[in-house]
A and B are shown apart, each in its own frame.
Chain A
């Protein structure tokens, strides 16, 4: 008598066991479709979110322009491109990577920090015409930044 025959006999004798096995098998497609559904929702949601954030389905620019800024708090440069979403600020004391959305900077907790740059980083872009930026923040009041002649040499360094 083989084990398989024993199992079959047991299943015949125990219809609830058979139902349980069947139920387990039946749930497999539900688990599968739930996971696929979540993945699809995630992808569609991400695309919709990006489209909303970038104001369209076009991908954001990857190359950043360098702007040189002179301020009483100290000179600094900022690598930025309109619509890029990423930004890097560099002073004589340090550098910070951040994000920019709707002209508001997000410095990931460093908004009022003076340890890294020597002054608090700018809070927002007040004016941007592609050649000039005007920035404001706790330590910066309408600081004018001019686009440097050559493109930033390190946009890849701040790829997130």
Chain B
């Protein structure tokens, strides 16, 4: 009798332990909240996500996986140009806090970071010019340049 009760208690305990571990894992997966008064990290992350969402259809067109419609493409390129100047203001002096993926070089090598931004922005401007020409080949080359600029900046200033 005692043995049966002990066995039941053990089973209950093991189930409780499993639930606690699962909940603990879920809690660990949750990212820390952005407590910065201006939420600069949240803002720049939102803008970079928007970069990705805007660049994705552009990449599909350049890769030949989506039909090239000059007007539509120009609108997308112009949207990317509008976005290209926005996130940098949110890299404030006190903006390096978890869970940022920015490398400390963003702050310690501010000039190099500024150059990377300018390079990116000029590559996006060139994409808009290419889109205005309506030439798919020019557009494809410009998209490659934008992508290369993104990758170069990520390599130097972001933890992958």
Contact = CB atoms under 8 A, between A and B. Distances in A.
Interface stretch (B11-19, B104-112, B150-158): B11-19
A contact residues, range: 20 to 34
A109 B46 contact: yes
A38 B26 CA distance: 11
Q: What is the predominant secondary structure among interface residues of chain B facing chain A?
A: helix
Interface stretch (B76-84, B95-103, B123-131): B76-84
A35 interface: yes
Interface in B1-53: 10-11, 14-15, 18-19, 22, 34, 39, 42-43, 46-47, 49-50, 53
Given A94-B82, A95-B82, A34 B53 contact: no
Contact of B75 (A38, A97, A153): A153
Given A110-B43, A154-B75, A94 B86 contact: yes
B54 interface: yes
Contact of A97 (B14, B18, B53): B53
A159 B53 CA distance: 8
B89 interface: yes
Interface string A87-105: 0001001111100000000
A113 B43 contact: yes
B57 A157 contact: yes
Interface in A123-160: 153-154, 156-159
Given A109-B42, A110-B43, A115-B89, A157 B76 contact: yes
Given A97-B53, A153-B72, A158-B53, A34 B22 contact: yes
B75 A116 contact: no
Interface string A24-63: 0011001100110010000000000000000000000000
Contact of A27 (B14, B22, B57): B14
Interface of B: 10-11, 14-15, 18-19, 22, 34, 39, 42-43, 46-47, 49-50, 53-54, 56-57, 72, 75-76, 79, 82-83, 86, 89
